[in-house]
Structure 1
């Protein structure tokens, strides 16, 4: 999975699609997010359960344990290892959803070797995408701590999406997304959901978009190519 997200709906659109009964605590505002081209370490809207409430908050995309002094924040975690490996052990219990509209991947362009062609990947039905995530989070309405952040779980892309990439986010249908977030879901069940019940490749579509999205300063809407 490449490190670029698209998150432009309003938070209420994501919450409505999730259909959870929990009262919403919204700290990101009511307007459309309009984040068409989010790179790593950006603040992204994330959903998680905080007590009996569903909390929507901006969290930095990327995390590493404080004992890791030599690498950049990681933005993804392999679902095959995340539950039992030492690196993400402290945040595995802290489940969340990165609520997005799509993500970008790049492939070599045979007609333009100096540049890669970006593709946008999204659900065929156009619905919001709920990416299984884990992270370190501050309490609601508190100033984010320097170590706060989240990572998106990724799985094998089953041969790749039009040979774009061999990994993809673990995307959960709304009912499974709700179960993933619930404090009542045991860790073993959460691992099963992430490993075995993510949306299959057949649920997605992808198409070329304007190469301008390669510039992170281009924060406006992406344009599909004919």
Structure 2
């Protein structure tokens, strides 16, 4: 029997399709810079979707790192690097100007992930970049991103599109399991996994790895409800 493997794949869920619609709408506003906002609980695929979109389109993606979240210069230098600046300047004003130059010469959307890690002053720097470049900046984060942006009136007034990443659906799990492992989960098994996951991809992936291990050790491609209960419990609790 051919060995079952787990091959992480990207599947186009409803969240992904809505993300593409949002980006298309933002592109219509090509005469001035603006913000997009993507928010939702961790594990629903926000970062993975923006990285997938960036890989298939000419975009800039930057994830905020806690190690430099107190340094505006380090933030600007990192954004310089992601925008293609070969030698990011060592001064804030010069780094800011280099980002503008890079985005004006090569216009493209910019994704900034885990925005809630930023100190409040950073968002005003991003707003200045939006105004100076006329580009789309999409900010991603968890639920607290909404009030975070609303507290900054000038940022909120420039936010033209927003999307909440909804919990994953049973159909998403069935499709992902088939494409990543080849296993055809029954509705009952997928429903059980959906309930246990609480709408997040991460528990689903852990459970699927357990199902692949079970399938290989027992030379089967059938995951029964009883087997799924055992695997899901082990994957989510370690017991």
Q: Shorter-chain TM-score: what band?
A: under 0.3
Considering only CA atoms, is the larger Rg found in Structure 1 or Structure 2? 2
User: TM-score under structure 2 normalisation?
Assistant: 0.24
Structure with higher RCO (Cα < 8 A, 6+ apart): 2
User: TM-score under structure 1 normalisation?
Assistant: 0.25
In terms of fraction of residues, the more strand-rich structure is 1
